[in-house]
Amino acid sequence: MRRNLFPVLVAGLLATFLACSSYAATSSDDSSPTTVVIDAGHGGYDRGGIPGQRVSEKDMTLDVARRLRSVLAASGYRVVMTRDSDVFVPLGVRTAIANSTRNAIFVSVHFNSAPRSSAGGIETYFYNRQSLSLASAIHHYVAGGAPSENRGVRRRGYFVLRRTNMPSVLVECGFLTSPTESSYIQNASYRQKLAEEIAAGVRSRGSVASSRSTTRVATAESIPLQPYIDQTRISESKKSRSRSKRSAKKSTRKKKSSSKRSSSEVRAASSNWEA
Ligand SMILES: [Zn+2]
């Protein structure tokens, strides 16, 4: 969720992307079922993650996105990929691809990172209220199926969530900076499982209960609407304050005093709003 430097819509580039047949996995049809726009985070020179991170986030997101495409296509969904290779796609192009797709939902796949290697778990983000049931369903399955901490559903103004006019969710499928989670994530069968859990959430998005519930017991009929952590009030000033804190921290090398902050707090304060 970092290093997206050019959140600019490039009209010509968009035309190229939309013209490229690889972005439409199946034929279009006005009476078609929901299309899922799958957004593999990062790509090209944007590796994702934090500096010095060994495993590239961009490779893991693309692999899960491709697996998710296969699983969803097998369930009869139309699928559109915002990228299907190791290329940089500006955020504005990603959202334009989504917004030009009829009857769609948007799922952005990411992996997390933190300076603290003990940070781990699954987080699912949404922004618009219409996206909460989709976020609840995806989080229910991904967090429920992962041997990782459940870090909850969070509301946050990431660019791809704010600028997509459809139910849209960004799922952080574990921390590549956690040795334990990173070893899982580097395993192809685990990535397949992640794709299947995300797909289960997509399929079940209509089964999310309309009222909040604290129960985490899954039934075939109903998935609780997840309570969420609201992170929409993170201000620009706090962001830049934290940036300078981070730089200061870097120069004083591994001061333990600030490591009490959870990585999400670090991320909340320091990562950009663009994705
Ligand atoms: Zn990311």
pLDDT band at 31 (very low <50, low <70, confident <90, very high): very low
Tokens of 192: 């397949």
Please give the span between the terminal C-alpha atoms of the chain, in angstroms, as a whole number. Answer: 6
> Phi and psi dihedrals of 32, rounded to 5?
-70, 160
pLDDT for 226:
84
pLDDT for 207:
85
pLDDT band at 234 (very low <50, low <70, confident <90, very high): low
Which is nearest to 37 in space by CA: 67, 83, 80, 94?
80
What average pLDDT does the segment 103-109 reach? 97
State yes or no: pLDDT of 262 exceeds 70: no
State in Å: Cα 69 to ligand 1 middle: 19
pLDDT for 222:
78
State in Å: Cα 123 to ligand 1 middle: 12
pLDDT for 251:
43
Tokens of 68: 């998710």
pLDDT digits (tens, 9 = 90+) for 168-208: 999 999 999 999 999 999 999 999 999 999 999 999 998 88
State yes or no: pLDDT of 270 exceeds 60: no
State in Å: Cα 30 to ligand 1 middle: 33
- Do the Cβ atoms of 199 and 75 come closer than 8 Å? yes
pLDDT for 267:
39
pLDDT for 274:
38
- Helices 57-74, 188-203: crossing angle, 10 deg rounding: 50
Q: Which residue has the higher pLDDT, 203 or 236?
A: 203
Q: Which residue has the higher pLDDT, 171 or 223?
A: 171
> Phi and psi dihedrals of 243, rounded to 5?
-60, -45
Q: What is the largest CA-CA distance in the chain?
A: 60
pLDDT band at 221 (very low <50, low <70, confident <90, very high): low
Tokens of 224: 């609780």
Q: What is the CA radius of gyration of the chain?
A: 18
Which is nearest to 244 in space by CA: 269, 210, 224, 217?
269
Residue-range domain boundaries for the chain: 11-233
Tell me the one-letter amino acid at 44.
G
138 Cβ partners below 8 Å, 6+ apart? 107, 124, 169, 171, 197, 198, 201, 202, 205
- Do the Cβ atoms of 167 and 130 come closer than 8 Å? yes
Percent of the chain with pLDDT strictly greater than 70: 68
CA distance 206 to 210: 10
State in Å: Cα 106 to ligand 1 middle: 15
State yes or no: pLDDT of 159 exceeds 70: yes
State yes or no: pLDDT of 43 exceeds 50: yes
Which is nearest to 173 in space by CA: 7, 34, 57, 17?
57
State yes or no: pLDDT of 6 exceeds 80: no
CA distance 219 to 37: 27
- Do the Cβ atoms of 23 and 80 come closer than 8 Å? yes
State in Å: Cα 212 to ligand 1 middle: 28
State in Å: Cα 54 to ligand 1 middle: 14
CATH code that applies to domain 11-233: 3.40.630.40
Q: Which residue has the higher pLDDT, 244 or 185?
A: 185
State yes or no: pLDDT of 15 exceeds 80: no
State in Å: Cα 190 to ligand 1 middle: 18
